């Protein structure tokens, strides 16, 4: 009789422990799903921030390029104004290239899935490298752009 009570109480304690373990696993699984969803949202925020920076820098780059074209139509422009425009153009170009290079770095390091970006930016990278060949020589600071462009053009 004592053995039967001990076996019964041991079985009950084991069953109780098993139920607690199952409950904990269920809660852990639920927390994991929430964590994954939060990570997806954070990734989306990062993607949108990168795109926003790229867009604003592209607008600035295009604005100064247009301004230079307008001044080229007007021959009465001082050399000082030309130098200011060229300096501003170089800065805007560098800022734009840096934002794209940052995106390419994230893709290269698998922080972002390149399939999501390839369709939209494949031609952008190709045009960038083609139109500004001097900026993408062997000593380029924009190695990530060059690397992702070569990868995407080969596919």
Two structure tokens written together for 139: 């000593």
Whole-angstrom CA distances from 97 to 39, 90, 147, 149 are 27, 10, 14, 13
Whole-number pLDDT of residue 2: 57
CA gap 10, 71 in Å, rounded: 91
Whole-number pLDDT of residue 40: 80
CB 54 within 8 A of CB 103: yes
The neighbour count for residue 130, using CB atoms within 10 Å, is 10
Please give the average pLDDT of every successive group of 10 residues along the chain, which has 155 residues: 68 88 92 88 83 90 86 74 87 94 92 84 93 91 95 89
Name the pTM for this structure: 0.71
Whole-number pLDDT of residue 79: 79
Burial of 100 (0-12, 13-18, 19+ CB in 10 A): buried
């Amino acid at each position: 009789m004592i053995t039967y009570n001990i076996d019964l109480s041991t079985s009950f304690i084991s069953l109780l422990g098993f139920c607690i373990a199952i409950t904990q696993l269920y809660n852990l699984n639920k927390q994991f799903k929430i964590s994954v969803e939060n990570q997806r949202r954070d990734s989306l925020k990062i993607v949108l921030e990168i795109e926003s920076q790229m867009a604003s820098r592209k607008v600035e780059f295009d604005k100064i390029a247009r301004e230079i074209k307008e001044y080229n139509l007007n021959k009465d422009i001082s050399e000082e104004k030309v130098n200011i425009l060229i300096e501003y153009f170089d800065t805007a170009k560098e800022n734009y290239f840096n934002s794209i290079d940052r995106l390419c770095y994230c893709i290269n390091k698998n922080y972002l899935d390149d399939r999501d970006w390839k369709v939209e930016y494949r031609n952008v990278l190709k045009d960038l490298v083609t139109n500004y060949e001097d900026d993408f020589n062997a000593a380029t600071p924009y190695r990530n752009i060059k690397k992702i462009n070569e990868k995407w053009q080969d596919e």
